[in-house]
């Protein structure tokens, strides 16, 4: 029996906060057992520094990440597409699983405000891994 690696795309408007945190947690917890992408419908120039710091606090370094533009190819290549407030800008293709995670936007927030968003994203990513049948790394 061949193992199928699930593929997940996280999408938010600027790809500078929520989707970056979600992708970082999924990569960190899922390792090579899951393919991870993130993108934005209107990407920012840089990842939110408060998001970088909040993840650093839990041992995840995303300082080298850059916001990426959402492409139809990225959506087509993903099994699960998780939107985080990008609305109608996200292309929809039949046969994909779409989830919408309603989360506070960390834009313009300090690290203290980002921490609860980070922790909620980690909780949801752990749940997603369970749904996908992928054991999270400790």
Other CB atoms within 10 A of residue 7 CB: 17
Beta bridge partners of 8: 36, 80
Sign of the four-CA dihedral 137, 126, 16, 79? positive
Q: Which residues pair with 81 in a beta bridge?
A: 9, 98
Looking at the annotation, which residues are catalytic? 12, 86, 90
């Amino acid at each position: 029996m061949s193992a199928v690696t699930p593929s997940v795309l996280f999408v938010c408007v600027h790809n500078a906060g929520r989707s970056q945190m979600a992708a970082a947690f999924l990569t960190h917890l899922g390792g090579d057992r899951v393919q991870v992408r993130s993108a934005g419908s209107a990407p920012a120039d840089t990842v939110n520094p408060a998001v970088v710091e909040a993840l650093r606090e839990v041992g995840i370094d995303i300082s080298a990440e850059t916001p990426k533009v959402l492409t139809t190819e990225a959506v087509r290549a993903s099994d699960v597409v998780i939107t985080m407030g990008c609305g109608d800008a996200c292309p929809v293709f039949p046969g994909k699983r779409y989830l919408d995670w309603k989360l506070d936007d960390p834009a313009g927030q300090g690290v203290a405000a980002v921490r609860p968003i980070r922790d909620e994203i980690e909780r949801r990513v752990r749940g997603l891994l369970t749904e996908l049948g992928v054991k999270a790394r400790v």
